[in-house]
Amino acid sequence: MNFKAVLGLGNPDKKYKNTYHNIGHMMIDFLTDKDIFSADTLIVKNDGFMNESGNSAVSLIKKTGAKPEELLVVHDDSDISLGQFKLSQDRGAGGHKGVEDIMNKIGSKNFWRLRIGIRPAEETGKAEEFVLKKIKKEQLQVFEKVFEEAVIALSDLH
């Protein structure tokens, strides 16, 4: 798959930096150092708050001329354990408000998603109870490994 656009989800304020909900932004930072996409692929972070990510997706699609299936959205997924990730396409939002907003605004669910697991074993409650917590130092190393593995999976995809 040759992506024309890659959008990492998160929140813009400094207080959200290094929180679980901003893992999409962190992955975009990681991807900018890699050479896995073609030179004409635009790789960006959403420019608003998570729940309004659809506006960034619409803008990115207009700017790149991408079809929904040429868009990759990178985001946190509290239903996936820390240290895991999944690549999927044409699926429901699974309760993720940012993804739901993208689906509503672009009128399609037929885009690729890199869903990065953020649920630590000790977090058994609802996602909203921990997604805005700061990521622990030892977990940052786990995310580094996940990012590396995700890059390999994305490379294999196209």
21 is catalytic: yes
Say whether 6 sits in a helix, a strand or coil.
strand
CB 90 within 8 A of CB 114: no
**Cα separations (Å) of 74 from 5, 28, 71, 124, 125?**
11, 8, 10, 23, 23
Residue 40: C-alpha distances to residues 14, 25, 67, 109 (Å)? 29, 20, 14, 23
Catalytic residue among 21, 25, 75, 96: 21
* Active-site residue set: 21
